[in-house]
Structure 1
Amino acid sequence: MTDVATSIAARGRPRDPSIESRVFDAAMAQYAEAGWSGFNFESVARKACVGKASLYRRWPTRGELLRHTLQARWLTVSSIDTGNIRGDLEELARMIARTLTGPYSEAHARISLDSARHPEMLDFLRPYSDDTIRHGRAIVRRAIARGEITPATNPGLMMDMVVGAVTNHIRTTPARLRGVMMAKMQDFVSELVEAVLHGVRATDMTENDKKDRGVSA
Structure 2
Amino acid sequence: MTKTSMDITKRTSIGAQRNPASETAILDAAEEILRESGLGGFSIEAVARRAKAGKPTIYRWWPSKAALLLDVYHRQKGETFYADTGDTRKDLVAFLEALLGFWRTNGGEIFRSIIAAAQSDPEALIALRDYAVTRCRSSGVILARGQARGEVRGDFDPEPIMELLSGFCWNRLLTGRLEVSPGEIETIVDALMGGLSSTSR
Q: TM-score, normalised by structure 1?
A: 0.59
The one-letter code matched in structure 2 to 1:140 is L
Q: Does 1:116 align with 2:119?
A: yes
TM-score of the superposed pair, with normalisation by structure 2: 0.63
Structure 1: segments with no counterpart, 5+ residues: 1-14, 207-217
RMSD: 4.0
How many aligned positions are there?
176
Mapped partners of 1:86, 1:134: distance in 2: 18
Instruction: Report percent identity of matched pairs.
Output: 20
Please, which of 61, 81, 84 is the counterpart of residue 82 of structure 1?
84
In 1, the alpha carbon distance for the partners of 2:141 and 2:37 equals 29
Is the 8 Å Cα contact of residues 31 and 39 (structure 1) preserved in structure 2?
Answer: no
Structure 1 counterpart of 2:135, one-letter code: T
Structure 1 range deviating more: 21-30 or 94-103: 21-30
Equivalent residue for 1:33?
39
The separation in 1 between residues aligned to 2:192 and 2:199, in whole angstroms, is 13
Change (3 A) 1:172 1:34: closer
Decide which structure has greater helix share. 1
Aligned equivalent of 2:189: 193
TM-superposed deviation, 1:96: 2.5
* Closer/same/farther in 2, CA of residues 21 and 88 from structure 1, 3 Å limit: farther
Following the alignment from structure 1 to structure 2, what is the Cα–Cα distance between the partners of residues 33 and 161? 28
Larger Rg: 1
Aligned mate of 2:162, from 154, 159, 163: 159
Matched residue, 1:5:
none
Q: Deviations over 1:168-196 (max 9, x none)?
A: 4565577xxx7xx45xx233223322222
Distance in 2 separating the partners of 1:28 and 1:134: 29
CA shift for structure 1 position 165: 3.1
- Provide structure 2 residue ranges, at least 5 long, that are not aligned to the other structure: 1-20
